């Protein structure tokens, strides 16, 4: 498999419910980041969190950007 095809296969996206969790879902979705929708969107507006990619009416976030954000928070480079 060449590099171009490998990058396409490895690309993944998250929906908001996967990022901030949804305890009312069956089964409940555990959050990557433990805060709510308002804080997430405020972080996008302030430039702390990545902007979504829109596919139709659906907002998706690139997995690589979410992974980078999680690493920065875990290393203490970004205080939330």
Please report whether residue 17 resides in a domain. yes
Please report whether residue 7 resides in a domain. no
Say yes or no to pLDDT of 72 above 60: yes
Q: What is the DSSP letter of 51?
A: P
Alpha carbon distance 40, 26 (integer Å): 23
Instruction: Give residue 34's domain range.
Output: 13-75
Please report whether residue 62 resides in a domain. yes
Instruction: Say what the pTM is.
Output: 0.81
Q: pLDDT, tens digit, for every residue of 18-59?
A: 999 999 999 999 999 988 999 999 999 999 999 999 999 999
Please report whether residue 53 resides in a domain. yes
Please report whether residue 4 resides in a domain. no
What's the domain count of the chain?
Answer: 1
């Amino acid at each position: 498999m060449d590099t171009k095809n490998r990058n396409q296969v490895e690309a993944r996206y998250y929906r908001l419910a996967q990022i901030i969790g949804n305890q009312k879902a069956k089964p409940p979705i555990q959050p990557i980041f433990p805060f709510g929708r308002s804080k997430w969107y405020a972080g996008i507006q302030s430039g702390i969190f990545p902007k979504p990619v829109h596919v139709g009416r659906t907002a998706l976030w690139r997995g690589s950007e979410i992974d980078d954000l999680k690493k920065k928070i875990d290393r203490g480079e970004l205080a939330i």
